[in-house]
Each structure stands twice: as structure tokens, then as C-alpha cells.
Structure 1
Amino acid sequence: MRIDRRRFSFLIAGMTVLLLSGCATFSTDGGMQKVADLTQARTGQPVQGTNDMSEQDRTDQLVRALLAEPLNADNAVRIALLNNRGLQASLTELGIAEADLVQAGRLRNPGVSFGRMHNSSGVVEIERSIMFDLAGLLTMPIRTRIEQGRFDQAQLQAASTAIALATETRRAYFSAIAARQNADFMARAQLAAEAGAELAQRMQKVGNWNRIDSAREQLFYADASTALARSRHEEAVARERLIRLLGLWQADTTLQLPDRLPDLPAQPHGSGQMEQQAMTQRLDIQIARRASESTARSLGLTRATRFVNVLEAGYRNKSKTGEPRNNGYEISLELPVFDWGTARTHRAEAIYMQSLHHTADIAIRARSEVREAYSAYRTAYDVSRHYRDEVVPLRKKVSEEVLLRYNGMLASVFDLLSDARLQIDAVNTAIKAQRDFWIAETDLQAAVNGGTIASNDAIASDATASPPAQRNH
């Protein structure tokens, strides 16, 4: 088929203008602003991507300033979101998703062909053609919408990873304080046990105590020394886990942690509308919904291209020695003779139904997890308050009475030391109950706002895999 060269030039120019106007470009922030907003709304702290050394230097200065002061839970989360290298590595997935989005808004490069033939009589025949991906141009809007959905999903996933890190950091922060508090208390208990063992030896030497009671005090002192060593190790483990989550290197490991856990709030949170809030706030539900929407769009594209899988159009001319040049166009179309696209369509429909069931399953699990997390939170609050208001005061009162009886020579030294053992157990249990409450409160907020709580060991380990480049402290 032949058309006028000028008319075809206008057609090519129109296609070029349409192509250039539809080209997608990269955003200025790489999609990080939405991730930062989602993270700050759920954790109180923003997340920030580090893409060059100047940004890393500013981050280092801010981290050093925060570490120069006594560390609280909010600042610990802020440092982790800024400085954890495992999180920074996961944020690069945004760049991959945005690159796919930009690529979806661009056509394949045109193909150019050139052919030259000549015969023995000296006649030369030349063919030239340029082909454009017409099917890609027609499906560009829907492909762009699909990749836009995947980019949105990547942003939600990045925010979910950041929120999981924030949750793990708060849990590690409270665990580190509790471990330190317990180790300090065990150190005092070990000193008391040492004094009791020395007193028992002296009383045995003067004949005021028998060997079995003296041996009991020596054994108590040995057990207290063992418990102190274990508590020191638990303190080191909890502290190092917090350091890993904060992404700190060797020179930054001086943490100024409080001496004791925060006090319990006056009243616990009510259950309220937590389940409904989780349905709108949890990022895992939003990710599943976006995945279903993206799959639905993909299904629509599969149906649209079921019969027309390859469609190309282009300009072509042909010249021959001694004859005028022939101009025209060429259309290349794949005919559905053997493959009618039913397999692709059936596969897309199955994947879509799979995503729907997956989304429903996540929603059911979310409501259950919120109820479970609130039960753990309320139980931990009641238990910790019970130890604070009932068990520890009663144990203290008993100790005071035993001491009065000892001073009045109505109780023996053995009774006094035996009561000290019981007091140590009560205080240790109270510290653990208070720690469990703050961890349960963190888990409840994660269940409502962030999604399923998962171990973040991979992120924590990435933070210490290799030393940061060009860091001078």
C-alpha cells in the first residue's frame, strides 16, 4: 500500500509528540516522602533515605547529638530509622519500583531495517523501513497504571519495614533497660548474700550456728554470684541487640540508658475501636489490597492483548535504479492461530482469586491479632500494677517485721536471710512484669498501626555486616 510521503511524515510526527508527552520521569524524592509520612503517622518519627555521603554526614552528626544525651524510647526509634543500614538497603527497592514505573511510560525503541540488492545487469534495489511498537503505545496507559500500583505497593512495603524496625527498637530499648535494672539489683543481692555467708562462717566458728545452716548461706552466696554473672550477660546481650538495631558502629556504642523502666501509666488504654482502626491503618492490609488491584489491572491487560499480542506499524520505502522511489507503510500482526491466549487469561484469573483470598485472610488475622495483643497488654498492665501496689509493698512490710523481730531477738539471722531471698525474687519478678508491660504496649500499637510483628534479625544483622564508608568519630 502506498501513501503520500508528506501525510505519512505528519503521522510519524504525531506519534513522536504523543510518545514524548507520555514519557514518565523520575520523581524528585524517589517516593520517600510518602514513606516518611506513613512512618511518622504510626511511630512519631520519620524515615529518611541516605543516597550520598553528604546526607550520611548529616545523619552521623544528628546521631552523635542524640547519643550525647540520655537515650529515651523516641530518640532510639529516631536513630534506628535514620541510621540502620539494613533499613537503608531495603529502601532501595523504591528505586527499582520507580524505574519500572518510568519504563512502563516509554515505548520500545523503533526498529530500522535496510536492504540492498543488485543483479548482474547493474540494477540496484534498496528497501528501507522503520517500525514502531503500536501495541505498546495503545497499552501504555494501562501498563503505567499497573506499575503505578506496584510503586504504591512498594512505598507501603517500605513504610511497613520501617515500622517493624521501630517496633523492634522499642522492644529492645525496654529490654535493655530491664536487663540493666535487674543486673544492678542482682549486684546488690550478691553483696547481701556475701555478707550473710561471711556472717554464717563467723557464727559457726564461735559455735552459734551449725554446719548445715552455714552451708546453706554459702550455697545462697554461690547461687547469687551465678545469677549476677548471668544477669550481666543478659544485660550485654540486650544492649548489643539495641546497638545493632540503632545501626551503631564501634565508636558509637556508648549508650546513656536510664537506670530504671518508666512508670506505669495511671490508666490502661481502652479497647475502643481498635479493630476498625486496624482495618484502615495496618499497612499489611493496604499492601494486600493494592496487590489485588494491581492483579485486577493485569487481568484487564491480559484480556485486552489476548488476541493482539504483537502489533507494530512503521514507514517503509523502496527504490530501484532508474525508477521513482516507492513509499508506504507496513503493519506487523501476530495471528492467533495456535495460541489463543486462554492459558494466559486463565492464569491471570487464578492469580486474582488467590490475591482476593489472601487479602481476606490478612484482614481476619489482623482483627484476631489486635484482640490478642490487647489481651496481652491488659494482662501485663494488671500483673505489673499488682506487683507494684500489692506484692512488693507486702514483701517490704514483711521484711520490716522480720527485721523488728530480729532486733527484738524473736527471729534468727537465718530467718532474716531467708526473707531476703524471697524479697529478691519478688523484686526481680516485678521488674520483668514492668518490662513485659512496655513490650506489650509496643506490640499493641504495632498490631493496630503497623501490621504483624515479625522478627527483624535480618535488618539488625545487616547493620553490623560491614563498617560504614568514611566515618570518622
Structure 2
Amino acid sequence: MTNARTGQSVQFSKPGADATAVERSVAQLLGKQLTADSAVQLALLNNKGLQASFAQLGIAEADLVQAGWMSNPSFSFGRMSGAHAVEIERAVMFDILGLLTIPVRSKIEGRRFDLAKLQAASDAVKLAADTRKAYFNAVAAQQTALYSAQVRASAEASAELARRMAQAGNFSKLTQAREQAFYADTTAQLARSRHNATVAREQLLRLMGVWGEHTAIMLPDRLPDLPAAPANGDNAEALAMEQRLDIQLAKGEAAMTASALGLSKATRFINVLEAGYMNTSKSGEPRENGYEIELQLPLFDWGGSRIAKAEGLYMQSVHRTADAAIRARSQVREAYSAYRTSYDLARHYRDEIVPLRKKISDEMLLRYNGMLIGVFELLADARDQVGSVNASIEAQRDYWIAETDLHAAINGTGGAAMQLRAEASAEAPQGH
């Protein structure tokens, strides 16, 4: 189930299994530059929280095996003495009702085991989506930090030039102060962007389950390019109804509850039924053999409360299934809207805004070469591009995150709601 939805397989680390193969795979993946797929593969292979959730499979499997066994018999022994005589009673009792209900109990535990597999696959698919989003956040944060370092270097050169011009008497103190203020702002922005890059990187490392020497991962300098065209979302809702793991989980819970309701009705009046062999021996008399049947009499509790409880649980699971389907359809529509909008925005920045800013920069450079403008007008135009470039990086990152959320809304348990932030104007303040 995980491979069909993520393209990556999972591995269940059982007790006593050889961990060297996993370590070799982790080292091999970390020895190369990370991609989104290799980051997901590392998380599915090495995340300890996911392995802890997989342990629930072993618990459900043990319950399934135990449901197919008959309960252990019980042995009773009694000894009475008096009037120079000793009486001894022995009995072996078997749970007859438990034996008769083994097929039904095995069926219920089998469905519970299937639900455990669905839950394990759901945890794996969610981890894959979280890791993919963390990867794109880390790459974008690193790209922003590298660009902030370039902006700071440019601002430092501008501030130094302004200082020298002021010393020569060619610059006013106000103009020099403005250049120095911009340099101070870029220094603070660089510190923030570097910290944000560290936060995004650590989030990715946590999801991949690596530490120590393995934290020296290699990320690309920039985000992947946009695809040539966006995906079509016409059948997204229908695919979600077929493939969403939370819907399959809700359906399985409803079916299991229905089976439990049938068992409750079958054992409404006979809840405890045991039969067994017994013998009695007395001093000086031959041993007496026989059998004993123990039956709980429904005098006070006729099982109505158990039936009502089972019916309530069944209706609860039915409504939860319907609610899951309604939420899934809404999440798919919302995720596709975010996906398509983020794709259009990223392409708009790539094809319109950034090229237009470059064209303006080229024109300013021509005017500078023709001595029509000064160096500070040229530097001011370069600062005007800062907002556009940062917005373009964020738009490209938002697209890849929206694509991941769309796949999660169709195949997994639903992606997080994504709101596209309004970007600040790319124009520099007056006086810069």
C-alpha cells in the first residue's frame, strides 16, 4: 500500500533482525546529494517513530493467532474429611462457548489485523508526505540564505562606498545613513534566513531519523524546476474515494463493529458455558465419575445493554465513515485549488516578474555605462530586485509543497490546509 502511493517501500525491523543492511543503505543514500525521493526513502527506512507504529502489526497478529485457539481448560480439586472419611473431588472444565465462537472471533481479529495494516500504511504515507515537504522547505530556506548573503555583500559594498564619498565631501550624512541602514537591515535578514535554514534542515533530519555524523547532508542549491504543465484534477475526488487510507480504515472499522454486533447478539443469553469431566472418591468406596456443566443464568442481565452498546458503536462507525468521505472530498478540492494557484503564481514569477526585473536592471546598467545615472542609482535598482527574487523562491517552494499536499489528499489521509500568503511589494522604500 505504501509503495503504490509513494513509490517507496517500507521495511519492518523485527526483533533479532540484522541492522547492518539498513545502516549500509542509510550510508549509501547520505553519501550523495539528497533528492526528494531519497529523503523519503531514508525516512521510511530509518525513522524510529514509524518502526514503533509498525510494532502494532505484531500485536494485532498475535491477537489474531490467539483468537484461533481454544481457551486453556481449568482444573479444580477439592478435599473434604470428617467422621473418619475423606472425600476428594477433581474436575477438568472446558470453555464450550469459546470453542463454538472461534470462527467468529477469528474473523473479527482478522479484520482488526487488516485495520492495523491500514493504519501502518497510513503512518508511512503521512511520514513520506511530511518528509517531502520538509525537504522542499530545507532547500528553499538554504537558497534564500545564499541569496541573502549575496544581498548583504552588495549592501556592504554600497555602505563602504557611501562612507568614502561622505569623507570626500560628495555625500550628505543623510544619504550615508540610509545606505548604512540598508546594510544593517540586510545583516539582520541574513541572520534570520540562516536560522530559518537551520530550523528547516533539522526538521528534515528528524523525519529521516539521522543523527551524529549522518547530519552532514548535501542539499541542492536551488529548488527543482516547475513541470511543463500542471496536473489535471478532474477525477481527483473519485481517486480519493478509492485510494484514501483513512476512508478504507473507517470502512474496515464499521465492518468489524458489525461483526462484533453479530457476536453480541449470538451470545446475548448464553455468555458463559463450560463443560467438563469430574470424579469423586471417598474413603472405602469406589470412585464415582461424571460430568459437570456450568451455565450463567440470565436472571438480572439479559444482555440488552451489551446489544445497545454494540449498536451504538456500529452507528458511530457508520457516521464516522460518512464524515471521512465528506471531509476527503473537501480536502481534495481545497488541495487542488492550492496546487493550481501555486503553480500559476510560480510560473508568473518565473516568466513575467523576474524577467521584467532583469530587463529593468539591464536598462539601468546601460544608463550607468552611458554616465546617465550614478552608482547609487544602480545599487538602488539592485535592491529593488530583492523582494521579487525572494517571492519567486517562496512561490516555487509553495508549488512543490502544494503538490505534496494534493497527493496526500488523494492517496493518504489528507494534506494540511495551505493558505497562500500575500507578498509584500517588491519596491524598495523611498530614499533607498
Per the TM superposition, whether the score is higher than 0.5 is yes
In the TM superposition, what is the alpha-carbon distance from 1:402 to its structure 2 partner?
1.0
In the TM superposition, what is the alpha-carbon distance from 1:54 to its structure 2 partner?
4.7
Partner of 1:116: 79
Partner of 2:23: 60
Partner of 2:34: 71
Deviating runs (4+, > 4 A) in structure 1? none
3-state SS, counterpart of residue 115 of structure 1: strand
In the TM superposition, what is the alpha-carbon distance from 1:203 to its structure 2 partner?
1.8
Partner of 2:406: 444
Partner of 2:69: 106
Among 34, 42, 45, the residue aligned to 1:82: 45
In the TM superposition, what is the alpha-carbon distance from 1:51 to its structure 2 partner?
2.3
Give the Cα–Cα distance (whole angstroms) in 2 for the partners of residues 377 and 406 of structure 1: 42
Partner of 2:287: 325
Give the Cα–Cα distance (whole angstroms) in 2 for the partners of residues 124 and 202 of structure 1: 118
Partner of 2:132: 170
Give the Cα–Cα distance (whole angstroms) in 1 for the partners of residues 319 and 119 of structure 2: 19
Among 357, 361, 374, the residue aligned to 1:399: 361
Give the Cα–Cα distance (whole angstroms) in 1 for the partners of residues 176 and 157 of structure 2: 12
Does the CA-based 8 Å contact 2:278-2:292 persist in structure 1? Answer: yes
Q: TM-score, normalised by structure 2?
A: 0.94
Partner of 2:427: none
Among 378, 390, 402, the residue aligned to 2:340: 378
In the TM superposition, what is the alpha-carbon distance from 1:205 to its structure 2 partner?
2.1
Give the Cα–Cα distance (whole angstroms) in 2 for the partners of residues 425 and 417 of structure 1: 14
Partner of 1:43: 6
Partner of 1:138: 100
Partner of 2:370: 408
Tell whether 2:231 aligns with 1:269: yes
**1:392-428, CA deviations, whole angstroms, 9 ceiling, x for partnerless residues?**
0000000111111122222233321221111111111
- Identity over the aligned pairs, expressed in percent? 61
Give the Cα–Cα distance (whole angstroms) in 2 for the partners of residues 92 and 454 of structure 1: 27
**1:44-80, CA deviations, whole angstroms, 9 ceiling, x for partnerless residues?**
1111111246532211111001111111111110110
The amino acid across from 2:76 in the alignment is S
The amino acid across from 1:72 in the alignment is T
Among 434, 449, 455, the residue aligned to 2:396: 434
Tell whether 2:56 aligns with 1:93: yes
Give the Cα–Cα distance (whole angstroms) in 2 for the partners of residues 435 and 215 of structure 1: 35
Partner of 1:295: 257
Among 359, 382, 385, the residue aligned to 2:321: 359
In the TM superposition, what is the alpha-carbon distance from 1:191 to its structure 2 partner?
0.6
Give the Cα–Cα distance (whole angstroms) in 2 for the partners of residues 148 and 264 of structure 1: 45
Give the Cα–Cα distance (whole angstroms) in 2 for the partners of residues 309 and 421 of structure 1: 81
Give the Cα–Cα distance (whole angstroms) in 1 for the partners of residues 55 and 196 of structure 2: 35
3-state SS, counterpart of residue 288 of structure 1: helix
Does the CA-based 8 Å contact 2:56-2:116 persist in structure 1? Answer: yes
In the TM superposition, what is the alpha-carbon distance from 1:207 to its structure 2 partner?
2.5
Tell whether 2:222 aligns with 1:260: yes
Q: In angstroms, what is the RMSD of aligned CA positions? A: 1.4
Does the CA-based 8 Å contact 2:406-2:415 persist in structure 1? Answer: no
Give the Cα–Cα distance (whole angstroms) in 1 for the partners of residues 339 and 153 of structure 2: 35
Give the Cα–Cα distance (whole angstroms) in 1 for the partners of residues 331 and 59 of structure 2: 32
Q: Equivalences for 1:343-358 in 2 at 5 Å?
A: 343-358=305-320
Does the CA-based 8 Å contact 1:164-1:454 persist in structure 2? Answer: no
Does the CA-based 8 Å contact 1:377-1:441 persist in structure 2? Answer: yes
Identify which range, 410-419 or 358-367, moves more after superposition.
Answer: 410-419
Give the Cα–Cα distance (whole angstroms) in 1 for the partners of residues 18 and 26 of structure 2: 12
Tell whether 2:147 aligns with 1:185: yes
Q: Equivalences for 1:212-251 in 2 at 5 Å?
A: 212-251=174-213
Give the Cα–Cα distance (whole angstroms) in 2 for the partners of residues 419 and 251 of structure 1: 43
In the TM superposition, what is the alpha-carbon distance from 1:454 to its structure 2 partner?
6.2
In the TM superposition, what is the alpha-carbon distance from 1:316 to its structure 2 partner?
1.5
**1:273-320, CA deviations, whole angstroms, 9 ceiling, x for partnerless residues?**
111110110100011011101111111111111100100011122233
Give the Cα–Cα distance (whole angstroms) in 2 for the partners of residues 412 and 434 of structure 1: 34
Tell whether 2:87 aligns with 1:125: yes
- Structure 1: 5+ residue stretches without partners: 1-37, 456-473
Q: Equivalences for 1:6-45 in 2 at 5 Å?
A: 38-45=1-8
In the TM superposition, what is the alpha-carbon distance from 1:322 to its structure 2 partner?
4.0
The amino acid across from 1:44 in the alignment is G
Partner of 1:24: none
3-state SS, counterpart of residue 168 of structure 1: helix
In the TM superposition, what is the alpha-carbon distance from 1:254 to its structure 2 partner?
1.0
